[in-house]
Amino acid sequence: MSWLTDIARPEIRTLQAYAHADWEPGLVRLHANELPWRSEVDHSIAGLNVYPEPHPHALMHRLAELYGVPQGWAQACRGSDEAIDLLIRCYCRAGQDAVLVCPPTFGMYGVAARIQGARVLEVPLRRAADFALDLAGIDAALAQDPRLLFFCSPNNPTGNLLDLTALLALARRLEGRALVVVDEAYLEFSGVDSLSRRLQDYPALVVLRTLSKAHGLAGARCGTLLAQPEIVSMLQRVIQPYAIAQLSIEAVFAALAPGPLAATAGRLEVLRAERERLRAALQAHPQVVRINPSAANFLLVEFRDAATVLASAHQARFLLRDFSRSPGLGNCLRITIGTPQQNDQLLACLP
């Protein structure tokens, strides 16, 4: 065991994991108090009357393969939201340890930290530099010894990619003391390589991926943490047995078959083209002040009067995400790229 285990919470390091019922698929299950008959509404492959595999190995193998990491370097979770929560619960002692976040960014890092009672150190992105990292600010915050540093690239809600060289340098520097978590929820829309290729060289690095965005499976709730096996096994102590529902497991396998994967790639092409088309059209609109560079499936747009735009969009039955009251995001709305027809209708309804 290495420092990756030493920096975890002592309660978790010594935790005896829940002893779940034996998993031997060929045998008749009279050991888990399940009903021996399937419900008539059960159209699953495996049967919903029985518990799913406690820690779904075949699924994790498939996800490791999808994301190009060795077996044992991938942990499936109920969305990457759960991976964020598990990381903080494993590594942050309540009332003592801190996480570092760079707002404006995904809200779950801060929420999960506060639930665990971890301190939240904020080093805002530099609005004047298209929301790039404030490297000097991060440097200064390291004096407070954060245990986990959360970065999102492409960043939600700003859309831009972060400086990956700087993140790797940080991971190198923090070896022995902290983990650098890079949330790549929108990576597939960017055309950029995943940092997961660097996991073997950078033990402090953790990468989060999800099937919720590019793969169109938000409802199945399947995210993946990619990291050194020691970090993966720390999370396995804390994640609930049977966390991933059988219907989700079956949906993921179906979506990751060759045909559906090719269809996903085709949809990504369309989406990226639509992003650039919507950007150009919005750029020419008199209500638009500025659009942040985006490598994701959304645009962060600063309007002259965000409230008016929001009201017109709502009238036309569109929901947009209002960030106008967030610090540094006055008059900004986040617009998800829709189908070509939805994008046309949205453009048509703008005031």
Ligand X SMILES: *Cc1c(COP(=O)(O)O)cnc(C)c1O
Residues that bind ligand X (CB under 6 A): 79-81, 106, 152, 156, 183, 185, 210, 212, 218, 223
Are residues 77 and 224 in contact, defined by beta-carbon separation less than 8 angstroms? yes
List of residues 6+ apart from 212 with CB closer than 8 A: 79, 80, 185, 218, 221, 222, 223
State the DSSP string of 133-166: --HHHHHHHGGG--SEEEEESSPTTT-PPP-HHH
Nearer to ligand X, 81 or 188 (CB): 81
Nearer to ligand X, 218 or 280 (CB): 218
Nearer to ligand X, 288 or 298 (CB): 298
Nearer to ligand X, 275 or 288 (CB): 275
Q: What is the dihedral of CA 45, 47, 53, 57, to 10 degrees?
A: 0
In the sheet that holds 223-226, the strands lie side by side as 74-77, 223-226, 205-210, 179-183, 148-152, 98-101, 119-122
User: What is the distance, to the nearest Å, from the Cα of residue 208 to the centroid of all Cα atoms in its chain?
Assistant: 5
Indicate the residue type of 215: H
Q: What residues pair up with 205 in beta bridges, in sequence order?
A: 180
Q: How far is the CB of 11 from ligand X (least distance, A)?
A: 25
Nearer to ligand X, 106 or 323 (CB): 106
**Cα-based angle 4, 72, 236 (whole degrees, multiple of 5):** 65
Q: How far is the CB of 132 from ligand X (least distance, A)?
A: 17
Nearer to ligand X, 251 or 288 (CB): 251
Q: How far is the CB of 137 from ligand X (least distance, A)?
A: 20
Which residue is closest to ligand X by CB?
A: 79
Are residues 302 and 101 in contact, defined by beta-carbon separation less than 8 angstroms? no
Q: How far is the CB of 213 from ligand X (least distance, A)?
A: 6
Phi, psi of 153 (to 5 degrees): -145, 115
Q: How far is the CB of 212 from ligand X (least distance, A)?
A: 3
Q: How far is the CB of 224 from ligand X (least distance, A)?
A: 9
Are residues 261 and 116 in contact, defined by beta-carbon separation less than 8 angstroms? no
Q: How far is the CB of 122 from ligand X (least distance, A)?
A: 16
Whole-number Cα distances in Å, 74 to 9, 63, 197, 286, 308: 21, 7, 13, 47, 45
List of residues 6+ apart from 251 with CB closer than 8 A: 217, 220
Nearer to ligand X, 104 or 223 (CB): 223
Nearer to ligand X, 44 or 336 (CB): 336
Q: How far is the CB of 259 from ligand X (least distance, A)?
A: 23
